[in-house]
Amino acid sequence: MPSDFALKTMNAVHRGLIKLTGGKVGWQAAMPVLELTTTGRKSGQPRTVLLTSPHQDGETLVVVASRGGDDTHPAWFLNLRDNPDVEVSLKGAPKRPMHARIADAGERAQLWPKITGDFKNYAQYQTKTEREIPLVFLEPR
């Protein structure tokens, strides 16, 4: 698993690519890329990260708190767990207020096979950790 420094560096490089190309490159990987802004659970300051969304249902976006299969949850997940009011920018559009909701067991059981069927890396991440990797719904407010 990459270190926190490596993850932050990769995110900064990705953000730089988007900025350097004027948003023409970087908003689409194998799945849509979004910018999620949470409120830091310790600092109270805005914290922004680029994530991919392997599933969308109308205006609701789903993100996976995999952290590459690490045994600890990503910081952005812990932040939205404590304060679910977030902002999301999809494909460089203006930020929109959204509400983050962690999928319950039934929702995860229904959606996880679809996500791992479409994107095998998530199934591989789950084999690396004993924690159940959460799914998060980002829903319009």
pLDDT tens sequence across 96-107: 999 999 999 999
DSSP alpha helix (H) spans, 37-104: 75-82
- pTM for the whole structure: 0.84
pLDDT tens sequence across 58-116: 999 999 999 989 999 999 999 999 999 999 998 778 899 999 999 999 999 999 999 99
As to burial, measured by CB atoms within 10 angstroms (0-12 exposed, 13-18 middle, 19+ buried), residue 19 is exposed
Residue 23 clears pLDDT 70, i.e. is over it: no
Return the CATH architecture of domain 29-140. Roll (2.30)
